[in-house]
Amino acid sequence: MKHVSDYRDAELVKGLLQELHETMTKPWVVMEICGGQTHAFVRHGIDQLLPEQLTLVHGPGCPVCVTPLELIDKAIAIASRREVIFTSYGDMLRVPGTARDLFSVRAEGGDVRVVYSPLDAVQIARDNPDREVVFFAIGFETTAPANAMSVVQAKALGVDNFSLLVSQVRVPPAMHAILGSEGNRVQGFLAAGHVCSVMGYWEYPPIAEQYGVPMSVTGFEPLDLVQGLLDVVWMLEQGEIAVRNAYARAVTFEGNKPAQKLLADTYETCDRAWRGIGVIPESGWRLKPDYAAFDAEKRFDVGAIQSRESEICIAGEILQGKKVPTQCPAFGTTCTPEHPLGATMVSSEGACAAYYRYRRSPASLSRSGMTHENGRD
Amino acid sequence: MCLGIPGKVIETYEQDGLLMGKVDFGGAVRESCLVYTPDIQLGEYVIVHVGFAISKLSEKEAQETLEALRAVYILEDEIGPEEA
Amino acid sequence: MEGPVCPVPLQHEEKIVIGHGSGGRMTARLIANRFFPAFENDALAQGDDAAVVGMAGEGRLAVSTDAHVVTPLFFPGGDIGSLAVCGTVNDLAMVGAQPRWLTASFILEEGLPIAQLEAIVESMRTSALEAGVSIIAGDTKVTEHGKVDGMFISTAGVGWVPAGRDIRGSGAQPGDVVLLSGTLGDHGIAVLAARGEMDFEVELESDIAPLNTMVEGMLLASHSGVHVLRDPTRGGLATTLNEIAGQSGVTIRLNESAMPVRPAVNAACEMLGFDPLYVANEGKLTAIVAPGDVDSILAAMRSSPYGVDACVIGRVEEGHAQVIMDTAIGGTRIVDMLAGEMLPRIC
């Protein structure tokens, strides 16, 4: 398709890669913070074609991976109720809670349904007035306008048997948490293209300034990804601190105003726990008081939830870019997509799953730039 | 958070008070909510994520970026690589 | 008398009812009126508990079995009937067998419109005719409403493998070339669209087709050069090639740029976050062949209506059992088996 294949033009990508190789004179560590970009890098094999000295690390850009364990367990408890039709994006069904996942709830007779759009969940509520329909509203800013519209519509249409289980997270606070953490080695950032389609990128220059980290708003096709890296590396080499937009066809500085307005009307910021990382202040959104009646956590009393993570899983360190999956002793052995220990192995764009799917053999792992040790710069 | 793909708006209509449209992703057509791209015209492209258009795709920007890249990188054996 | 008889017995000719599965008159009438005329052959007409057939010549028997539970029952390009017949025919063809006889067991849902049953049976008749097979034994059961989705069909297939043919999953050798008979993912996406859950429209038909005639053409072109044949159904081409790599103990290297995919399938996959390599096909095969015979085998494939888009997609190398792919931009990645159900993703 026209606006996709152009950005997979092999000749152009190779030309840009060559430029990247020639531009780098020192080692640099660059982080991308979008699960979709992690997936794309590995799926197209771009990570293997990068300069040896460029260390690409993956941030906590997978909303599936960072949804707190307690919330997964709550989702499972709610979904297990007879009166509930639990609706969710497909990614969430296999994420392990303490004891099981939403898939197994379905296998045991629970009514768990995958929806493509949050509006489908509202329709299910309209079609089933005698049931309670809960929608698992996960995501970053990209997904927030869609999630929020579901509850706005439900309220407007008087669909009272609908509620949201909210797990919205925001990128800028996560960037602060990573860049401000002790031992941070990230020197450049690829800003997530579709998050910026919604929010614009006006939030990033202050962050770039504060930490001295240049950034490029980056898309998702091979050409976009290499272009973003080239931008950041060039700025690093020049000592320039700025935020560039390498995804101008879909991102403006201001972002999507109608979407931002609806978000401001529906959500308010709150602290949020990120699975594997901990609480990041102001890093989430919750429903405003006007919509409290549609908050599934308030509507359903699911009792005391005792959540317990696997002791072996190092997803937190991976999400912070401090380790790569191949450094985990359980990777590929006790932890695989078929029996995952943590969320990063389950979600198809979690770093561990991406590595497992695309990089597993030792030969290809050593060829890829992703086995570089920590702290080597 | 990220799976947004470009599609062409081929029809618009209102449903339950929301601006909706049929979007063609290059052979697969799906209904998408256009409330966040209220000024979109038929024939224009949008980026769609979970059934919602989150941004218009600027063909002008797309064209300019590609042309600029091609000018630099396709001719590199004749001119030599330039700084981005 | 056979139990309670209603003074004005209704003929129950519009919908399947439990009585149709009772084994009595209603069952007999259903079989005589709906199945026998369509599957007309001597063995079936005998009406015995088992069909007895004769075989002559040197060679071996091939036997396969399959169950078909697709919903919806009807979709663009086919239905559960054509799927059942072609799927079974193809299983046999993939070991180099000439398919001869099929069995078909039907589990019908109470309430199924008989017109639908008729349409499906007719579809099976035409598929069987094209493939040159006879349906010689069968069974019919009826379950209560809600226990099956309209209809399930279970089949077995018997074929004849001429002497000298030995096509098996463990037959791939380093140096071999990997061929694909046509576009990927047509069936899976067509059925997904027909189910309506993801609410999208495509101009696309399932690719259900009997491949035995094309296979005969390939084996005629090179009877010892075809090392492996397999049809990539559930799990897609990726799963199939992983199975073969495992059975043969080789590395299969694919070329991403060579993969034939219709734009509509690509678009639907992009939209849902699917990879065409994992989407089901029902009228395609992959062949692993000796390098010297590639041209003649490809020519044979392309002369079949089901192989017009046949192409080379990769090669076999020494190495441990895995499938890898050279990406269009010059990288490589592993192509794993499908792990669990393919779900649409947001990231």
Cα A333 from Cα A339, distance rounded (Å): 10
In the prediction, which pLDDT does A343 show? 75
Backbone angles phi, psi at C322, to 5 degrees: -160, 165
Under an 8 Å CB criterion, which residues of A touch C? 1, 4, 8, 10, 13-14, 34-36, 39, 42-49, 62-64, 89-91, 93-94, 114, 116, 120, 139, 143, 222, 337-338, 347-349, 356-361, 364, 367
Q: Is C265 on the interface with B (CB under 8 A)?
A: yes
Q: Is C199 on the interface with B (CB under 8 A)?
A: yes
In the prediction, which pLDDT does A360 show? 61
C263:A1 CB<8 A: yes
**Which of C270, C279, C343 is the best mutation test for B, with the most CBs of B within 10 A?**
C270
B1:C264 CB<8 A: no
Tokens of C59: 């060679």
Band of residue A363 on the pLDDT scale cut at 50, 70, 90: very low
The mean pLDDT value for A226-252 works out to 97
DSSP code, position C35: I
pLDDT of residue A377 exceeding 70, the answer is no
C201:B48 CB<8 A: no
Burial C169-198 (b: 16+ CB within 10 A, else e): bebbeeebbbbbbbbbbbbbbbbbbbeeeb
- Cβ-nearest to B2 among A12, A37, A256: A37
Q: What is the CATH number of domain B5-79?
A: 2.30.30.140
Distance set, CA A267 to CA A88, A149, A153, A167, A292 (Å): 19, 11, 14, 12, 10
Chain segment C182-213, per-residue pLDDT in tens: 999 999 999 999 998 888 999 999 999 999 99
pLDDT of residue A330 exceeding 70, the answer is yes
A361:C345 CB<8 A: no
* Structural domain includes residue A82: yes
Handedness of CA A334, A335, A336, A337 (dihedral sign): positive
Residues A59 and A180 in one domain: yes
A12:B70 CB<8 A: yes
A337:C340 CB<8 A: yes
A360:C340 CB<8 A: no
Determine the residue of chain B that is closest to C272 in CA distance: B3
* Structural domain includes residue A252: no
Chain segment A5-40, per-residue pLDDT in tens: 888 888 899 999 999 999 999 999 999 999 889 889
CATH, residue A98: 3.40.50.11740
pLDDT of residue A375 exceeding 60, the answer is no
Residues A57 and A180 in one domain: yes
Q: What is the domain range of residue A347?
A: 317-359
Q: Is C270 on the interface with B (CB under 8 A)?
A: yes
* Structural domain includes residue A269: no
Cα A148 from Cα A290, distance rounded (Å): 13
pLDDT of residue C21 exceeding 90, the answer is no
In the prediction, which pLDDT does A211 show? 97
The mean pLDDT value for C121-147 works out to 95
User: C319 — alpha (psi -120 to 50), left (phi > 0) or beta?
Assistant: left
The listed CATH number (3.30.1330.10, 1.10.286.10, 3.30.70.20, 1.20.120.550) that belongs to domain C18-162? 3.30.1330.10
In the prediction, which pLDDT does C160 show? 93
Band of residue B83 on the pLDDT scale cut at 50, 70, 90: very low
pLDDT of residue C85 exceeding 80, the answer is yes
Q: Partners for B (CB, 8 Å, 3+ pairs)?
A: A, C
Residues A53 and A71 in one domain: no
How far does the CA of residue C274 sit from the closest CA of chain B (Å)?
11
Determine the residue of chain B that is closest to C270 in CA distance: B5
Domain count, chain A: 3
Contacts of A222 in chain C (CB under 8 A): 329
Contacts of A162 in chain B (CB under 8 A): none
Higher confidence at residue A114 or residue C44? A114
Residues A72 and A156 in one domain: yes
Task: Tell me if A35 sits within 8 A of A61, measured CB to CB.
Answer: yes
* Structural domain includes residue A274: no
Residues A58 and A73 in one domain: no
Residues A80 and A143 in one domain: yes
In the prediction, which pLDDT does C27 show? 83
Tokens of A25: 């004179």
Q: What share of chain B is helix, strand, coil (3-state, %, to 5)?
A: 25, 40, 35
**Which of B2, B11, B29, B33 is the best mutation test for C, with the most CBs of C within 10 A?**
B29
CATH, residue A192: 3.40.50.11750
In the prediction, which pLDDT does C202 show? 93
Total-model pTM: 0.88
How far does the CA of residue B12 sit from the closest CA of chain A (Å)?
17
Contacts of B28 in chain C (CB under 8 A): 189, 193, 200-202, 264, 267-268, 271
In the prediction, which pLDDT does C198 show? 84
Contacts of A146 in chain B (CB under 8 A): 33, 49-52, 54
The amino acid at residue B71 is: A
pLDDT of residue C18 exceeding 90, the answer is no
Chain segment A42-54, per-residue pLDDT in tens: 889 999 999 999 9
Chain segment C47-79, per-residue pLDDT in tens: 777 777 777 778 899 999 999 999 999 999 999
Band of residue A361 on the pLDDT scale cut at 50, 70, 90: low
Residues A59 and A199 in one domain: yes
Chain segment B12-68, per-residue pLDDT in tens: 999 999 999 999 999 999 999 999 999 999 999 999 999 999 999 998 888 888 888
Chain segment A97-109, per-residue pLDDT in tens: 888 889 889 989 9
Cα A375 from Cα B4, distance rounded (Å): 34
A360:C333 CB<8 A: no
In the prediction, which pLDDT does A311 show? 81
Contacts of B35 in chain A (CB under 8 A): 149, 258, 262
Tokens of C343: 């779900």
The mean pLDDT value for A246-266 works out to 97
Chain segment A184-204, per-residue pLDDT in tens: 999 999 999 999 999 999 999
- Cβ-nearest to C339 among A39, A338, A361: A338
Determine the residue of chain A that is closest to B28 in CA distance: A1
Residues A156 and A180 in one domain: no
Q: Give domain C169-334's CATH architecture.
A: Alpha-Beta Complex (3.90)
- Cβ-nearest to A234 among B2, B73, B84: B84
The mean pLDDT value for C244-261 works out to 96
Mean pLDDT across chain A, nearest whole number?
89
